[in-house]
Structure 1
Amino acid sequence: MEVVRSKEFIADCSWGAKDLASMNGISTRLHWTKEPYKWHVNDGEEVFVVLDGKVEMFYRIGGAETSCILESGDIFYASVGTEHAAHPIGEARILVVEKEGSV
């Protein structure tokens, strides 16, 4: 049993994470960042939940790049093959649920 105060979490470096749970091949991690993440495609599906702060999520559909602003409480679902890159606006804390070992 553990209580995690996500708004108090700060990692040693951007995109540093606290592992919260690993269940049946799915990992749940709390990330802290203040820097953009690289463009990538996960090895499976990904659920990306902004817990604190704002994130501009860039993604490509049919080769066309677009973005949306995610605020605290917003959820981004990346289906298999979705190329995306998260760019925080200031500091952000994000809950990520994805296949263990995914990029």
Structure 2
Amino acid sequence: MTIDNPFSNVFQNESPLSSASDKDLSMLKEMQRETIKQLHAPLKLEAKNQIVTDGQPKFEEAASETKSAVILIKDQLDSSIKGKWSKAIQKSVKEQADKYDDI
């Protein structure tokens, strides 16, 4: 007569659980995937979209202020720099300042 030791295969590669539990495990994983797709992902996407929506006016205001500052600096440089460098600076700053309109 032998007594079965429930811990006999703890250090073996085989799981003490049989292949029936493998099916249960795969079903559980599939349920978790569906929960993520149906519940968690839409909530996270909505939160991200809300951040973008709330932040857009702040981004636009910051871009407008930055553009004004760049133009002010250009005007100050323009009065102190003359010649071909002045025209190059004006052109470059105008191009860069116009990029703030895209924001």
TM-score range relative to shorter protein: under 0.3
- Scaled by the length of structure 1, the TM-score of the pair is 0.17
Higher strand share: 1
Higher helix share: 2
Q: From the CA coordinates, give the structure whose radius of gyration is larger.
A: 2
